Structure 1
Amino acid sequence: MSGFDDNPFVEPVDVNPFQANASVGAASLAKQQEELEKKAAELERKEQELNKRVKENNWPPLPNFFPVKPCFYQDFEEEIPEEYRRICRRMYYLWMFHSATLFLNVLGCLAYFTAGSTTHGVDFGLSILWFVLFTPVAFVCWYRPVYKAFRSDSSFSFFFFFFVFFFQVVVYIIQTVGIPGWGNSGWIAAISMIQVNLAVAVTMLVVAGFFTVNAMLGVILLKMVHSKYRRTGASFSKAQQEFSQGVLTNRTFQSAASTAASSAAQGAFSRN
């Protein structure tokens, strides 16, 4: 009976299989395009997050309008392991106390100069030099090395710190003594002013006390850092290895070595 249901007078409908396949293919391509766009957007978002995570120098903390920008990056919570964080902070506080003492020493030597003889002007001049010079030098030469040592467990940084900081402790002791003419308001210089001007003597004695605290803290923290160093597994051989690797990967050293090698090769060729 199915044959009678068909109308013989109606034109048969042509179904194009290729048109149906094209529609499916277009939908598939659109879906793939949408997925690719989503992946591209996700990659762009991740790239932006990584760019935000790039560490920008944050020390010293200067205002944005200041022409000089920060020179170092420092973050105890992020970079220093928890077991070394306290001692590293203490070294930073010692540097701050060191800088404040040198500033007070300038004031003490100024009082020493104004109340004493004109020869004390040398002490005042040297005290300014010590403040301007030893404040940044101490930060770069012994605080930053110990920070790097605890941050990356660097044997070379540990040994560099111990070498420099030992001399820093010796300098603290000399400053505490207060030899006249050396630019330090220590005990000898302060006591010599008691009979001359009591107010100036008291000012200088306070500075001498600050120098004494610096020396004591220096010895204590030196021992504490050494005890932490012994637990890190650092050694002199590792320090030598780190130094040699640092030299070999230094671009200046590489260019100098290549220049020397090419000069030697040219000399040998010209002799032949």
Structure 2
Amino acid sequence: MSEFDSNPFADPVDVNPFQDASVTQATSGISERIGEFNPFSATEMGNRSDTTIPISSVSSQPAILQTSVEQSAQATAAAAQVNLIKQQEELERKAAELDRKEQDLKNRTAGRANTGAKENNWPPIPKVFPVKPCFYQDFEEEIPEEFRRICKRMYYLWMFHSATLFLNVLACLAYFTADSQYGVDFGLSILWFILFTPVSFICWYRPVYRAFRSDSSFSFFFFFFVFFFQVAVYIIQTVGIPKWGNSGWIASISMIGRNLAVSVVMMVVAGFFTVNAVLAVILLKMVHSKYRRTGASFTKAQQEFSQGVLTNRTFQTAAASAATSAVQGTFVSSD
């Protein structure tokens, strides 16, 4: 009833909505929190970190890039491993092929030595001649492929050597016709051609052929010993000392004032001797490089020599005869 008794025309009382108890309590709590708020404090930073975007989602792109790099590195390593496996298989195949060829060569050599099935084919003499070939020679069958080229070059050098000696006979003949006092050169040139052609074949070409055929250390050392003197002979023939049977540079130059045509012929032969000397030095170096790769040594050469001597029937017969004679002489002296 009090509400009806009040004067409606009186001035209204100023009502402050913020003086309400519930509103005052709510605003006072917010003010306290605002006053205590510090955006740079550790607590607030920790609270804010809960609402930030995770770092894993931000750095997702570098992680994908790193995975691709690792995959490419693994692919490269796998390709390299496959390549190495292929190379190893290729090397094993080549080694097996070389072993097979070496075994076949040994079998053919042993079979030919035991049965004598292979007929000699060098020198290539017609069958109508009473003289038969003395040697068997086949580069494709007996010489391994890695030594075949150098062995053929040594054979060509021997052929060039023989042709030079023959031309030297003709040059010395011209030398003799120009001046009769040089008849000794013509005679010696014939001797050198008849002697050095077969001797060079037997003493240095056949040893190097046997060395490459059977990997013989003794044949290598014998070849080096003889061929060194052959190089020295080439140098002497190139110099051309008068009355030594060689149409070298000294002898050919000395004939320029007497007979120019003879001098030119002799100079050509002197050039041939020079080429022989140069090729001999080059091939000697090449054979030595091949020899170092074969594993030959002086010890192996001694063993091969001792085994060859002890297994030689002629040596065994001579040793048995000498021992028998010594024993008989001992018994006779004791009687």
Give the whole-Å Cα distance in 1 for the aligned partners of 2:245 and 2:216: 36
User: Which among 164, 171, 178 is matched to residue 101 of structure 1?
Assistant: 164
* Residue 52 of structure 1, CA deviation: 11
| Match status 1:148 vs 2:210 | yes
By relative contact order (CA 8 Å, sep 6+), the higher-ranking structure is: 1
Q: List per-residue Cα deviations over 1:4-39 (Å, max 9, x = no partner).
A: xxxxxxxxxxxxxxxxxxxxxxxxxxxxxxxxxxxx
* Residue 187 of structure 1, CA deviation: 0.2
Q: Which residue number corresponds to residue 73 of structure 1?
A: 136
Give the whole-Å Cα distance in 1 for the aligned partners of 2:286 and 2:136: 24
Tell me which amino acid in the other structure corresponds to 1:94: L
User: Which among 129, 133, 148 is matched to residue 195 of structure 2?
Assistant: 133
* Residue 53 of structure 1, CA deviation: 8.8
**Backbone CA RMSD of aligned residues:** 1.6
* Residue 98 of structure 1, CA deviation: 0.1
What's the TM-score once normalised by structure 1's chain length?
Answer: 0.79
Q: 1:147 to 1:123 in 2, by over 3 A?
A: same
Tell me which amino acid in the other structure corresponds to 1:246: G
Tell me which amino acid in the other structure corresponds to 2:200: A
Q: List per-residue Cα deviations over 1:167-202 (Å, max 9, x = no partner).
A: 000000000000000000000000001111111010
Q: Which residue number corresponds to residue 115 of structure 1?
A: 178
Q: Which residue number corresponds to residue 3 of structure 1?
A: none
**SS of residue matched to 2:199:** helix
Q: Which residue number corresponds to residue 311 of structure 2?
A: 249
| Greater radius of gyration (CA) | 2
Q: Which residue number corresponds to residue 168 of structure 1?
A: 230
| Match status 1:233 vs 2:264 | no
Give the whole-Å Cα distance in 2 for the aligned partners of 1:75 and 1:252: 28
Give the whole-Å Cα distance in 2 for the aligned partners of 1:242 and 1:158: 11
User: Which among 61, 64, 77 is matched to residue 124 of structure 2?
Assistant: 61
Q: Which residue number corresponds to residue 185 of structure 1?
A: 247
**SS of residue matched to 1:66:** coil
Q: Which moved more, 1:173-182 or 1:255-264?
A: 255-264
**SS of residue matched to 2:117:** coil
Q: List per-residue Cα deviations over 1:126-178 (Å, max 9, x = no partner).
A: 00000000000000000000000000000000000000000000000000000
Tell me which amino acid in the other structure corresponds to 2:183: G
Give the whole-Å Cα distance in 2 for the aligned partners of 1:52 and 1:237: 31
What's the TM-score once normalised by structure 2's chain length?
Answer: 0.64
Q: 1:52 to 1:165 in 2, by over 3 A?
A: closer
For structure 1, list consecutive stretches of 5 or more residues without a partner in the other structure: 1-49
Give the whole-Å Cα distance in 2 for the aligned partners of 1:240 and 1:53: 27
User: Which among 84, 90, 99 is matched to residue 147 of structure 2?
Assistant: 84
**SS of residue matched to 1:245:** helix
Q: Which moved more, 1:130-139 or 1:50-59?
A: 50-59
* Residue 268 of structure 1, CA deviation: 3.4
Give the whole-Å Cα distance in 2 for the aligned partners of 1:180 and 1:156: 37
Give the whole-Å Cα distance in 1 for the aligned partners of 2:186 and 2:142: 40
Give the whole-Å Cα distance in 1 for the aligned partners of 2:172 and 2:129: 31
